Structure 1
Amino acid sequence: MAYNLLKGKRGIITGALDENSIAWKVAEKAHEEGATFVLTNAPIAMRMGEIKVLAEKTGSEIIPADATNVDDLTNLFTKSQEVLGGKIDFVLHSIGMSVNIRKKIPYTESNYDYFMKGIDVSAMSLHKMLSVARKLDAINEWGSVVALTYMAAQRTYPFYTDMADIKAMLESIARSFGYHYGVEKKVRINTVSQSPTKTTAGSGIKGFGDFFDFANAIAPLGNADAESCANYCVTLFSDLTKMVTMQNLFHDGGYSSTGISMDVMERLGVEEQS
């Protein structure tokens, strides 16, 4: 059921690779809620994905951009305003990549060139996007920027390796830039810390399947899926959350607030104490 939460709003959605990705679901939901937007991804990711299908489904134009390249981002924000007919109201940052994880390099033996590449792609890209948008005055007052993150930024998950540090930097950028953009233009910037989600990217992490089941057993509501995350992002794009900024918002079925569950203790053979 749609509520026209984004009627008349214009946006930029990054990172939609295939129908399993959260960004793909966000695009579908934003379209249902009345938004118009452009889709963007790095050229290499676009060749691997199915973004053209999503563009046709939502009536959107695709503007390729390397999120680490300021010139590409300048073109993205400039052309998006031309295509959409005005300033931008919302941006989804759904960009993450770790070469160390792809190459199965342990955290304690991280390749630092790969590490820096991950920082540039997955965290610094948010700063570059916001900096370009600010210089171009491309985002309307009370606009909303949402970046996707994960709780490994706060707690240790050994299998998440250097992405944990990178996500911590992403969240810090959202807070720091959120202050300046909020004071100047009332633009709000938040991160959404999502449950383990069965996406193409997430499933590539070693041990993901076991951890997905563990988190699902811990969270009182179970893991939040990609579609429910998309719904949450849409509320953050809407005018209903105009005073929410500089926050890291957990969307994880209560996992982040739960120490242990009876389900997990039973699996471990722990008897309940009276």
Structure 2
Amino acid sequence: MTGLLAGKRLLITGVLTEASIAFHTAKHAQEQGADVVLTGFGRLSLVQRVANRLPRPAPVVELDVQDATHLDTLAARVRDHTDRLDGVLHAIGFAPPSCLGAPFLDSPREDVSVAIEVSAFSFKSLVVAVKPLLGPGAAIVGLNFDGQAAWPAYNWMGVAKAALECVNRYLARDLGRDGIRVNLVTAGPLRTVAASAIPGFTGLEEGWTARAPLGWNAADPGPVARTVCAVLSDWLPATTGSLIAADGGVLALAPV
């Protein structure tokens, strides 16, 4: 089989619906020659139905990144489907409602802790869990939204994304000696399940579309998914610890 990812074996987390970046990444990766294993949390029957809509049905492994048993056994359960991983997509994020849209100063410590653990610390947790399956040349990619600015309503999820960006740099530092690359793809706003939890998302989407030099279609995860596939490939062998934007060019512009 030929393609950008021919022969690659990938673990892709965060597939919930066909609108997700993770689903489109799995789809494009298969079209480029990769074999994929998916992870799901909670509604596994739904994830499996979505997995069956890929060009080639993919196996689904349960993963709750807050469950130590799930993490400790992940490598063994992935080995039921493949003996190695060449790439991993971390597409996991969550913040309780008090951390999105509600007054920033009112968010309780417990809810902020959940947002940081699931959206940032889990990047490290996932890497540690699958490291026995990774070898030189492997690539780890996380999904990001700009953590450098204070966006309306994004609140503590913005803090979590800033933490994720920092985790990315430290993972790149520590895994480089093993020949493993770690990068984030920073996406523009897309109409995913996660986006539906952000108050005022429509306004963010409209403003983004108006400003993007290349234009922006919030209904199309394809450009972001293809960027992820490129970073998972062998074509960026000297790139690690980076934030790679797939956002139509908005983040390159001066703020208004």
TM-score tier, shorter chain, comes to over 0.9
Contact 2:183 2:240 in 1 (8 A): yes
CA separation of 1:111/1:61 partners in 2, compared to 1, >3 Å: closer, same or farther?
same
Unaligned runs of 5+ in 2: none
Structure 2 letter corresponding to 1:133: V
| 1:267 paired residue number | none
Structure 1 letter corresponding to 2:180: V
TM-score (norm 1): 0.86
| 1:113 paired residue number | 110
For 1:149 and 1:101, the matched residues in 2 are separated by 21
Structure 1 letter corresponding to 2:110: D
Task: Report the Cα offset of residue 56 of structure 1.
Answer: 5.4
Aligned length: 253
| 2:233 paired residue number | 238
Question: Which among 156, 168, 173 is matched to residue 179 of structure 1?
Answer: 173
Range with greater deviation from structure 2 (96-105 or 17-26): 96-105
For 1:158 and 1:45, the matched residues in 2 are separated by 30
Name the structure with the higher helix share: 1
Question: Which among 64, 67, 71 is matched to residue 65 of structure 2?
Answer: 67
**Aligned ranges for residues 41-80 of structure 1 at < 5 Å?**
41-42=40-41, 44-46=42-44, 49-55=46-52, 57=54, 58-80=56-78
CA separation of 1:75/1:161 partners in 2, compared to 1, >3 Å: closer, same or farther?
same
**Aligned ranges for residues 27-42 of structure 1 at < 5 Å?**
27-42=26-41
Percent of aligned pairs sharing the same letter: 29
Structure 2 letter corresponding to 1:249: I
| 1:269 paired residue number | none
Aligned to 2:154, what secondary structure does the other structure show?
helix
Task: Report the Cα offset of residue 53 of structure 1.
Answer: 2.9
Runs of 4+ in 1 over 3 A off after TM superposition: 100-104
Task: Report the Cα offset of residue 250 of structure 1.
Answer: 1.2
Structure 1 letter corresponding to 2:156: D
**Aligned ranges for residues 10-25 of structure 1 at < 5 Å?**
10-25=9-24
Task: Report the Cα offset of residue 207 of structure 1.
Answer: 0.6
Aligned to 2:235, what secondary structure does the other structure show?
helix
Task: Report the Cα offset of residue 3 of structure 1.
Answer: 5.9
Question: Which among 92, 96, 103 is matched to residue 93 of structure 2?
Answer: 96
Range with greater deviation from structure 2 (74-83 or 189-198): 74-83
Task: Report the Cα offset of residue 130 of structure 1.
Answer: 1.4
Contact 1:100 1:106 in 2 (8 A): no
Question: Which among 136, 139, 144 is matched to residue 141 of structure 1?
Answer: 136
Unaligned runs of 5+ in 1: 262-274
